[in-house]
Structures are given as structure tokens and as C-alpha cells.
Amino acid sequence: MRALLFCLLVGLSSCTSAEEDPPAAAPTVDEAALADGLAAVYAGDNPDPDDVTEGDCFADALLASTTPEELRAGGLVDASYAVVSEIPVLDAGLAGLVADAQLACTDFVADSTAAQVDVTKGRLDRKAYATCLADELDAATIRASVVASLMGEWDDPALVTLSDAQTTCAAQ
């Protein structure tokens, strides 16, 4: 109908057909597959049961605060709404939403402690490190450091504070 109206407005001589090809259909979003993909990217290649649980939580939290279109525009999903295999550098708005979803589903101090225990092959005093880190970092600094890392801003003051706290606490 729109093509017919256009032809009438510009003159029939400029139109060879009153029919147009229909526009290409936008890809449909399989939200379950999108959630599964986000959970898998979060959990990593060799997830343990806690990683799987946190990944599912992350996907649910992120999808509750964003739209598939925002994730596509931010580079987390491709044009067909499949989750990308490597997380790109994110803009501040999406980085904040991703950080919030991540922090809603995980205990940063516990995760950092587990990572330090692994790095030191169990020689780290788990309880002392966790206590020290919890005393050194507040929630705002942790969030700011996660956002900065998602944005690729490695010299951000929050990341420096986080790194210094981890080093100090590991040394104690």
C-alpha cells in the first residue's frame, strides 16, 4: 500500500511496480538461548557447580536490566543475537549494568580469596586474606573496579586501589 501511495505522489511513470519486496525480517531473539549463552560466557570453559549457578544468576540479572538490542549494540551479542565468545570493551552504561549483574551474583571477596589460594597453591591464609580484603575495599570501589575493567581502563584509580589491596592482603 505504501508503494502505491508513493507512486501516486511522484507520478506513475517513475514506478515500474506497485509492489515492493518485503523488508528483511529482523532476527528473532531466543531469550532462553541468549540467557544460556550469557551464563556460559560468565561461567567459562571449565565451570564448577558454583560457576554455573553464578552464570545463571548473572544471565537472569543482566537480562532483567537490559534488552537484547542493548546487548547487541554494546557488542555482547552479534547481529543474530548469539553471545560473542570474547567480551569486548564496553561503554560506561553497559559496563555498569554488566558489573551490577555480576556483583549481584557473586561475592567478590570470596572469589578473590579463592583465586589467591589457587595462585599460592594453598599457602595463603584464606581467612586472614578475606578479612583483610573486606576491610580494605568497600562496595563502591569493587564496583568501580569491575566497571573499569569491563571498559578496559586498566589505569583507573579503583583498579589500582583493588590491586594494592590484594597485594597488601596477600603479603600479610
138-167 pLDDT per residue, tens: 999 999 999 999 999 999 999 999 999 999
Q: Which of 105, 124, 140 is the last residue of a domain?
A: 105
Count the Cβ atoms, other than its own, within 10 Å of residue 147: 24
7 is a domain residue: no
For residue 120, CA distances in Å to 48, 114, 125 come to 20, 10, 10
Q: Which of 84, 105, 126 is the last residue of a domain?
A: 105
**Do 147 and 93 have their domain in common?**
no
**Do 55 and 117 have their domain in common?**
no
Average pLDDT over residues 113-140: 94
Which of 43, 47, 45, 46 has its CA nearest to residue 35?
A: 43
**Do 44 and 56 have their domain in common?**
yes
Q: Which three cell numbers stand for residue 116?
A: 589467591
167 is a domain residue: yes
Average pLDDT over residues 31-46: 93
Supply the range of the domain harboring residue 64: 25-105
**Do 138 and 87 have their domain in common?**
no
Count the Cβ atoms, other than its own, within 10 Å of residue 128: 13
Q: Residue 45: its pLDDT value, please?
A: 87
Give the span between the Cα atoms of 87 and 77, in whole angstroms.
Answer: 9
131 is a domain residue: yes
Please name the amino acid found at residue 23.
P
**Do 111 and 166 have their domain in common?**
yes
| Alpha-carbon 91 to chain mean position | 11
pLDDT digits (tens, 9 = 90+) for 102-112: 999 999 999 99
**Do 121 and 91 have their domain in common?**
no
**Do 89 and 111 have their domain in common?**
no
For residue 107, CA distances in Å to 27, 64, 101 come to 36, 20, 12
Beta bridge partners of 83: 77
3-state secondary structure of 77: strand
The number of distinct structural domains making up the chain is: 2
pTM summary value: 0.81
Q: Which of 105, 129, 145 is the last residue of a domain?
A: 105
**Do 81 and 114 have their domain in common?**
no
1 is a domain residue: no
Crossing angle of helices 126-136 and 108-119, rounded to 10°: 140
Q: Which three cell numbers stand for residue 58?
A: 548473572
